[in-house]
Structure 1
């Protein structure tokens, strides 16, 4: 009796094993492809998305900053140019005024100094200059008496101090007039006499000669020292109260 050949189960056959292996490999490959498609993030694309916008923004910021700085620089240049032009105009005007002042005769020069520094009228609307008198000496030794109306103030002490300050304001440039040997500055205010009548009267006199004019440092000068440096000094009792 002939023996039957033994048959292997189908799962032990070689071709079955190959088919299963190929099927498994196919499944794994499909899962990998599906994962990449879902994520949608190719390796080289994140670099483009992440870096392109910030780089452009940084460039724009730098460009804006450069433009603003350029505008600031231009404005600064224009302002500096305007300041230089203004300074040049002031210097030219000052030089012209000085030249005109020096070309005047001494009396006209004193009158201009007074009106430039103290104005044409007082705070009570009186003419500032009463008189400017040149006493006869010679061209190399000028002697002037200048009589002015003073400003009135709230108190006698304030009125007095105001006259002293105004005296300094005009005596400094007057002292620079060539050949000015002596200047007597007089101030007047309305005074009431014993009968109740009001009349302008002398309330202060400052008499300065050349040696005193040369010694005074006007920048640091204390106006309360006028009585000490004057050859003669006078104050009316009415402004001492």
Structure 2
């Protein structure tokens, strides 16, 4: 009987079976991770921290003597954003304080030129962070500034134009009496601005 041709290991049934099992395992792992990421995203956006505070609840807290950091944040936004009373009231889209973290979203409805708007947003953010520094229980402060932007198709919608995050450690380093707003991007723990603010 003639000698059988020797098969390479990658042609043997057991090797093909191992590769198939590994492939199925890797595929299942990828699918499970994608599902987990989507679930986490839904849970974060549905959590109470990210939901808007009802205006009535915010107004009630503002009238109290001892003001929480979220109320102080809302008051600073109302003071610095908008020009009319209605604009100032609409300026507070969200203000939350949980586990030492303040996160506020401010809306500036009237936007002038990119340069003057950016200067205004920087100044208002510095005022916000100055107020957060005075709140001892705040360990981290984030201000998200939104403004109406027009897309290429002419549609106008409110979008994030600036996001600034500062830790307590960074806030403590700043001497707000001499601080220049244009240095904010250099010293913030996290700083982002929409390209529209850099337009000339």
Length-normalised TM-score, structure 1: 0.51
Residues of 2 paired with 1:162 and 1:133: CA distance? 23
For 2:77, the equivalent position in structure 1 comes to 114
Larger Rg: 1
Gapped runs of 5+ residues in structure 1? 1-99
Cα RMSD after superposing both structures: 2.3
For structure 2, the 5+ residue unaligned runs are 1-62
178 and 238 in structure 1: CA distance in 2 versus 1, 3 angstrom threshold: same
8 Å Cα contact 2:146-2:162 kept in structure 1: yes
- Confirm or deny: 8 A CA contact 1:101 1:109 kept in the other structure: no
* Distance change (3 Å), C-alpha of 1:167 and 1:133: same
Question: Which one of the candidate residues 71, 84, 91 is aligned to 1:128?
Answer: 91
TM-score by length of 2: 0.61
C-alpha change, 1:213 and 1:228, in structure 2 (3 Å) is same
Given the alignment, which residue of 129, 147, 152 partners 1:189?
A: 147
Q: CA deviation at 1:193?
A: 2.1
Instruction: Write the distance in 2 (CA, Å) between the matches of 1:101 and 1:180.
Output: 19
Q: 1:200 aligns with which of 145, 155, 158?
A: 158
Structure 1 residue runs of 4+, over 3 Å off? Answer: 121-126, 151-154
C-alpha separation between the residues in 1 aligned to 2:118 and 2:84? 15
Contact 1:133 1:146 (8 Å CA) reproduced:
yes
1:101 Cα deviation from its structure 2 partner: 7.8
Q: Tell me how many residue pairs correspond in the alignment.
A: 135
CA contact (8 A) 1:187 1:203 kept: yes
